[in-house]
């Protein structure tokens, strides 16, 4: 080979190498400028709770108002001139001579995209910033005053970030600006992870040499030596697989990142991105979420000792977990505190106080409050509106949902405690004592809806998302038992007539006796729950006490197709066959459609679409879609009002009559449901302001579960109802008692004679004469003496 060829080859090789380097540079630069900037400016789909509105004339307990401010990191102060309150502070004053309590709040400026602000604050009479004064008395807001004497109709508190949806899991995260992170925590993490962060340009040769020496001595990859910038690159771009190639790419991209972003931008992103552990299927990211997860505190509330513990977790969230390895976590915390003292971050006195502080962490399951089952409903709704999985999990959407965080916490607690109580009773009844794990077979599901709007306020698809992400609200279809009966009786009120030709009403009489329904050359004989018969009963009593034989008689007289039509009109979407057994709920339905059907009843026959979403914006703030409420009067108002009045008797004389023994006495309407094999228990009920569905049952259906079901006798009143009651008690705590306000011309109250079923004229007196609710069409056409 001649010298000339060598030179030409070398030049060509250099050119090719240069081209490769330039191409590689632009490839990596493009990757950083797209993926990384997107990671900073458009994180995975963010799901927010609903706005919290406080309006004049609105009903809210003072404790509830304070709790809703605190969960948004508002802080109470006292003895301050209200005009000098800083954003994020509130002050509870004394009552005046008229017993009005004065409540001052300094509202933060809401960080909402323009379209979201327009969506929520289209009314100029709604306050969104500045110091406001609220006058409160007896659970009611009397007046809202702003600065310079201006009055408002309402004010709004910002939505809370509920979850972030990504391709791998559900992330719990609370992004915060760098200025809101305590400087002691910031410095503790930098000292622990990358002391030369402010000096290097993305990678630290000293740290790299140290890690290479450790790897050579070990004969394998044992130490990374990564800077904060490299860790951020790894979290955003690269896999966790340890290799030399990945490390080289990490170094190059870290240097490029340092040239594109400031140290403050990198540090802010890192502190919001860094991984702090796992709670089942939920990943804990960022210092703010970690503070809430481990200590149930905001960043501003953390002590120096707590900050040190968080800083120590970054290196190994599992290895140093205070839940699983408290001694190891304490040792790590002490090491971080020493480092902070030695570098002047804290004084000797602060160090001594922090070192003496006991390591206190909250229960790890508190992240359950972030509503992962509700997030599943959101994802399902987005898919239903035509969005792809890629758009949902990586499109940077902002979803403003209907979730009420307070009610979600109450629902989680009610389901967990209710199921635990039943399993404790089961263990007590077993002949051979079994461990908690051996009897942990029960599951629960719960849904809360605002019946006036159709907004889903809380959702629980199982007792623990950490144990299983199987969402029973979306995926389960089970027999509903007697929760189907209201639609049987509504069909009767709409279409049925007695022997006189009068329309059925709440005092129409039926015989509770053995009954056989013959159809299609077949026979069906329903049985009552306790195999007993009570003789003559009214329609009201039959539904309240859930008498099977009467429900079957009613369905046979009006025809099962009429029952199907009523249930479908109410909101049941599953195909229903017009069979006799439909009268007793021998049909498998999903919880969402059952709740939708009862929401129609609660709205006097006005069907409303249920939704977990109000508004969806893309990463640029443009509207993807908004919830446009669809409503239709699918059932007649008078008969539906009449039915709801009958369902109130479930609490006074029916299957939920023991609710008062559990402390629930508010006006309510609802219905229990039980399946023949005690596998499923249901309760769906509502007050004027809130509807809730409760299901408690068994997923499995093997011999062991069958034995447990027979021991427990899981009826709707035993299983689902107590969960419903505990939720409703907490949800209504501190609120004035409200009764149902029937539409003025829908029904009227008349005196009737229970013996004859006629209107009680002047000739009718005695204990059989009662006042009952009827419609104009089903009022008895005869008097009791006729």
Each residue of 669-708: pLDDT tens digit?
Answer: 999 999 988 889 999 999 999 999 999 998 877 666 677 7
Rounded Cα distance, 691 and 431, in Å: 39
User: What is the DSSP pairing of strand 130-137 with strand 140-145?
Assistant: antiparallel
- Catalytic (active site) residue 786: no
Instruction: Report the percent of the chain where pLDDT is more than 90.
Output: 48
Residue 221 has pLDDT above 50, yes or no: no
Residue 238 has pLDDT above 50, yes or no: no
What are φ and ψ of residue 610, in 5° steps? Answer: -80, 145
| Average pLDDT value over all residues in the chain | 85
Q: What is the pLDDT of residue 436?
A: 55
DSSP 429-466: H-SS---TGGGTTEEEEEEEEETTTTEEEEEE-SS-TT
Q: What is the pLDDT of residue 137?
A: 85
Q: Which of 464, 482, 546, 681 is catalytic?
A: 482
Q: Which residues contact 744 (CB under 8 A, 6 or more apart)?
A: none
Q: Which residues contact 149 (CB under 8 A, 6 or more apart)?
A: none
Domain 166-366 is classified in which CATH homologous superfamily?
Biosynthetic peptidoglycan transglycosylase-like (1.10.3810.10)
- Name residue 127's beta-bridge partners: 155
User: What is the DSSP pairing of strand 161-165 with strand 170-173?
Assistant: antiparallel
Would you give the distance in Å from CA 174 to the centre of its chain? 17
Q: pTM higher than 0.85, yes or no?
A: no
- Name residue 673's beta-bridge partners: 682
What are φ and ψ of residue 415, in 5° steps? Answer: -65, -50
What CATH class is the domain 48-163? alpha beta
Each residue of 427-474: pLDDT tens digit?
Answer: 887 766 555 555 578 999 999 999 999 999 999 999 988 888 899 999
Q: Please name which of 279, 300, 319, 311 lies closest in space to residue 172, comparing C-alpha atoms.
A: 279
Each residue of 736-747: pLDDT tens digit?
Answer: 899 999 998 888
What are φ and ψ of residue 432, in 5° steps? Answer: -105, 120
* Confidence at 766, pLDDT banded by 50, 70, 90: low
Q: Which of 259-268, 315-324, 609-618, 773-782 is least confident?
A: 773-782
Residue 279 has pLDDT above 80, yes or no: no
Each residue of 324-369: pLDDT tens digit?
Answer: 899 999 999 999 999 999 999 999 999 999 999 987 887 544 454 4
* Confidence at 246, pLDDT banded by 50, 70, 90: low
Q: What is the pLDDT of residue 40?
A: 47
Q: Which of 193, 258, 511, 619 is catalytic?
A: 193
User: What is the DSSP pairing of strand 151-152 with strand 631-633?
Assistant: unpaired
Strands (E), 609-765: 613-617, 623-626, 631-633, 669-674, 680-686, 691-698, 748-753
Q: Which residues contact 72 (CB under 8 A, 6 or more apart)?
A: 52, 157, 158, 160
Residue 512 has pLDDT above 90, yes or no: yes
Would you give the distance in Å from CA 260 to the centre of its chain? 39
Rounded Cα distance, 715 and 662, in Å: 16
What average pLDDT does the segment 708-720 reach? Answer: 85
Rounded Cα distance, 404 and 412, in Å: 12
Q: Are 328 and 290 in contact (CB under 8 A)?
A: no
Q: What is the CATH number of domain 476-683?
A: 3.40.710.10
Q: How large is the greatest C-alpha to C-alpha distance in the chain, in angstroms?
A: 132
Each residue of 538-578: pLDDT tens digit?
Answer: 999 999 999 999 999 999 999 999 999 999 999 999 999 99
Q: Are 535 and 542 in contact (CB under 8 A)?
A: no
What average pLDDT does the segment 27-46 reach? Answer: 59
Burial-class residue 279 by CB neighbours within 10 Å (0-12, 13-18, 19+): buried
According to the 3-state scheme, what is the secondary structure of 159-185? CCEEEEECCCCEEEECCCCHHHCCHHH
Residue 115 has pLDDT above 60, yes or no: yes
- Catalytic (active site) residue 303: no
């Amino acid at each position: 080979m001649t010298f000339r060829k060598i030179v030409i080859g070398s030049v060509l090789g250099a050119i090719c190498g240069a081209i490769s380097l330039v191409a590689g540079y632009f490839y990596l630069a493009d990757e950083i400028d797209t993926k990384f900037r997107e990671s900073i400016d458009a994180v995975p789909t963010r799901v927010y709770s609903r706005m919290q509105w406080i309006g004049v004339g609105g009903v809210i307990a003072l404790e509830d108002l304070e709790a809703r401010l605190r969960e948004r990191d508002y802080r109470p102060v006292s003895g301050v001139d209200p005009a000098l309150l800083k954003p994020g502070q509130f002050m509870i004053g004394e009552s005046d001579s008229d017993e009005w309590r004065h409540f001052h709040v300094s509202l933060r400026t809401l960080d909402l995209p323009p379209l979201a602000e327009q969506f929520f604050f289209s009314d100029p009479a709604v306050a969104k910033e500045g110091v406001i004064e609220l006058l409160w008395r007896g659970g009611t807001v009397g007046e809202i005053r702003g600065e310079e004497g201006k009055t408002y109709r309402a004010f709004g508190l910002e939505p809370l970030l509920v979850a972030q949806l990504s391709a791998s899991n559900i992330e719990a995260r609370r992004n915060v600006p760098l200025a809101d992170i305590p400087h002691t925590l910031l410095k503790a993490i930098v000292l622990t992870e990358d002391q030369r962060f402010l000096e290097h340009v993305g990678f630290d040769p000293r740290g790299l040499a140290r890690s290479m020496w450790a790897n050579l001595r070990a004969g394998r990859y044992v130490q990374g030596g990564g800077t904060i910038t490299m860790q951020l690159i790894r979290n955003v771009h690269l896999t966790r697989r340890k290799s030399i190639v990945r490390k080289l790419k990490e170094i190059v991209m870290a240097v490029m990142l340092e040239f594109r972003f400031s140290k403050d931008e990198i540090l802010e992103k890192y502190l919001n991105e860094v991984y702090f552990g796992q709670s089942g299927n939920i990943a804990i990211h960022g210092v703010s979420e970690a503070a809430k997860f481990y200590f149930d505190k905001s960043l501003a509330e953390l002590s120096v000792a707590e900050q040190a513990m968080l800083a120590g977790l970054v290196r190994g969230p599992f290895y140093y977990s205070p839940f699983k390895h408290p001694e190891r976590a304490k040792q790590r915390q002490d090491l971080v505190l020493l480092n902070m003292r030695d570098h002047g971050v804290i004084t000797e006195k602060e160090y001594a106080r922090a070192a003496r502080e006991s390591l206190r962490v909250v229960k790890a399951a508190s992240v359950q409050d972030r509503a992962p089952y509700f997030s599943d409903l959101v994802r399902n709704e987005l898919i239903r509106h035509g969005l792809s999985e890629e758009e949902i999990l990586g499109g940077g959407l902002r979803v403003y949902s209907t979730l009420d965080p307070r009610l979600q916490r109450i629902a989680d607690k009610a389901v967990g405690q209710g199921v635990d109580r039943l399993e404790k009773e089961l263990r007590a009844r077993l002949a051979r004592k079994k461990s908690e794990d051996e009897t942990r077979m029960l599951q629960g599901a719960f849904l809360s809806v605002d019946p006036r709007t159709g907004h889903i306020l809380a959702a629980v698809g199982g007792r623990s998302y950490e144990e299983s992400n199987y969402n029973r609200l979306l995926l389960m279809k089970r027999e509903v038992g007697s929760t189907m009966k209201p639609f049987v009786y509504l069909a009767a009120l709409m279409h049925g007539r007695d022997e006189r030709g009068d329309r059925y009403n709440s005092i129409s009489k039926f015989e509770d006796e053995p009954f056989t329904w013959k159809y299609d050359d077949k026979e069906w004989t329903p049985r009552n729950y306790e195999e007993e018969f009570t003789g003559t009963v009214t329609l009201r009593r039959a539904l309240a006490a859930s008498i099977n034989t009467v429900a079957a008689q009613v369905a046979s007289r009006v025809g099962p197709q009429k029952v199907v039509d009523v249930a479908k009109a109410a909101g049941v979407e599953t195909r229903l066959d017009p069979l006799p057994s439909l009268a007793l709920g021998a049909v498998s339905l999903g919880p969402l459609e059952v709740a939708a059907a009862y929401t129609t009843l609660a709205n006097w026959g006005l069907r409303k679409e249920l939704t977990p979403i109000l508004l969806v914006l893309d990463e640029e703030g443009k509207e993807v879609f908004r919830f446009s409420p669809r409503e239709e009067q699918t059932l007649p108002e008078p008969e539906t009002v009449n039915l709801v009045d009958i369902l109130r008797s479930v609490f006074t004389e029916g299957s939920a009559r023991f609710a008062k023994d559990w402390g629930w006495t508010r006006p309510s309407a609802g219905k229990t449901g039980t399946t023949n094999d005690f596998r499923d228990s249901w309760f769906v009920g509502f007050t004027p302001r809130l509807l809730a569905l409760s299901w408690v049952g068994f997923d499995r259906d093997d011999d062991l579960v069958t034995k447990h079901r027979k021991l427990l006798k899981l009826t709707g009143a035993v299983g689902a109802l107590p969960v419903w009651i505990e939720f409703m008690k907490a949800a209504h705590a501190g609120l004035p008692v409200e009764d149902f306000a029937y539409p003025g011309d829908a029904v009227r109250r008349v005196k009737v004679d229970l013996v004859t079923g006629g209107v009680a004229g002047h000739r009718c007196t005695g204990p059989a004469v009662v006042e009952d609710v009827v419609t104009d069409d089903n009022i008895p056409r005869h008097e009791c003496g006729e």
